[in-house]
């Protein structure tokens, strides 16, 4: 049983689309984390992806990379993020998904990480530089702590690989919608819709689209052929500018009244 998957299914059962904002923990200071999470919850997001800054963020686009640099500069670490979250865990109502590179987890200690993360409200993890072939490094510990290990499925994956990744993914399937790194893009390939349909054929785990979704229109057009969206760079930018109106518009676009 995955709380993360359940939260997404509960959202889609209403006819809404899941909306998962990505935030960079520690951008603007870790003391902001609690208020950011609570405001996002109030807006009705489905889950929150919490980025952990890392010195070698190979899968991040420029916006998130810069946010990560700011977070590192003010001393943010995986350990401090987990401590901070644990400090207000009782107020966290939506499942959190940690996005972190593998090395900080290895340095933390895999088992300890799983236990502490779980106590801090983390219900899923995305580790972009850990291939499926290596998942045993961490999967048993995550299972023990009831944390979903989410797989990224890319457009470059062959059908066999898509099938294996999809079947292995827990919580949801993270479908990478642009070829490459995160960042706001204005146009998307047409083959996408077909790609999503293929992924969803293999599983009843919901598929969320991510990477490059930056406008309410994107939210709607992707929402039309999957279970929801993950919005990264645009949220990170808006939070850095304290622009909550933009964030609200994005979230609203995932709600049933506006999908039509």
Residues that bind another protein (CB under 8 A): 54-56, 58-59, 65, 69, 72, 77-79, 101-108, 128-131, 133-134, 151-158, 161, 165, 176, 179-181
Q: Is 133 or 191 the residue whose CB approaches another protein more closely?
A: 133
In the complex, least distance from residue 218 CB atom to another protein, rounded to whole angstroms: 20
Choose among 164, 240, 230: nearest CA to 202. 164
> Tokens 């797989």 identify what position?
151
The single residue of 27, 60, 65, 116 carrying the catalytic annotation is 60
Is 134 among the residues known to form the active site?
no
C-alpha to C-alpha distance for 109 and 213, rounded to whole angstroms: 33
Selection from 227, 169, 167, 168 nearest residue 196 by Cα: 227
Q: Which of 49, 65, 116, 170 is catalytic?
A: 49
Cα 21 to its chain centre, rounded Å, is 7
CB of 260 to another protein, least distance (A): 34
Cβ-based nearer residue to another protein, 110 or 259: 110
- Smallest distance from the beta carbon of 9 to another protein, in angstroms? 24
Active site residue 60: yes
- Please, how many CA atoms are within 13 Å of residue 87, restricted to the half-sphere of its CB? 13
Query: Closest approach of Cβ 253 to another protein, in Å?
Result: 27
Q: Which is nearer to another protein, 40 or 176 (CB)?
A: 176
Which residue, chain included where needed, has tokens 């079947």? Answer: 167
Nearer to another protein, 9 or 155 (CB): 155
Buried b (16+ CB within 10 A) or exposed e, 106-141: eebebeebbebbbebbbbbbbbbebeeeeeeebbeb
DSSP 128: T
Active site residues: 49, 60
């Amino acid at each position: 049983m995955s709380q993360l998957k359940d939260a997404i299914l509960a959202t889609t059962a209403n006819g809404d689309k899941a909306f998962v904002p990505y935030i960079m923990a520690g951008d603007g200071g870790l003391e902001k984390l609690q208020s950011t999470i609570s405001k996002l919850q109030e807006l009705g997001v489905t889950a929150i992806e919490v980025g952990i800054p890392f010195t070698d963020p190979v899968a991040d686009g420029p916006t998130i990379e810069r946010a990560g640099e700011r977070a590192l500069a003010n001393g943010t670490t995986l350990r401090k993020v987990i401590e901070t979250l644990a400090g207000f865990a009782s107020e966290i109502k939506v499942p959190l998904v940690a996005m972190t590179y593998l090395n900080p987890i290895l340095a933390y200690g895999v088992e300890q990480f799983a236990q502490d993360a779980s106590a801090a409200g983390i219900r899923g993890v995305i580790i972009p530089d850990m291939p499926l072939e290596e998942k045993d490094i961490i999967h048993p510990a995550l299972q023990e702590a009831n944390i979903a290990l989410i797989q990224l499925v890319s457009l470059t994956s062959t059908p066999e690989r898509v099938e294996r990744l999809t079947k292995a993914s827990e919580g949801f399937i993270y479908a990478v919608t642009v070829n490459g790194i995160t960042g706001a893009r204005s146009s998307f390939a047409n083959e996408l819709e077909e790609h999503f349909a293929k992924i969803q054929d293999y599983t009843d785990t919901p598929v969320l689209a991510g990477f490059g979704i930056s406008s309410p229109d994107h939210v709607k057009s992707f929402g039309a052929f999957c279970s929801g969206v993950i919005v990264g760079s645009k949220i990170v930018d808006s939070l850095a500018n304290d622009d909550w109106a933009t964030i609200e518009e994005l979230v609203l676009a995932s709600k049933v009244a506006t999908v039509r």
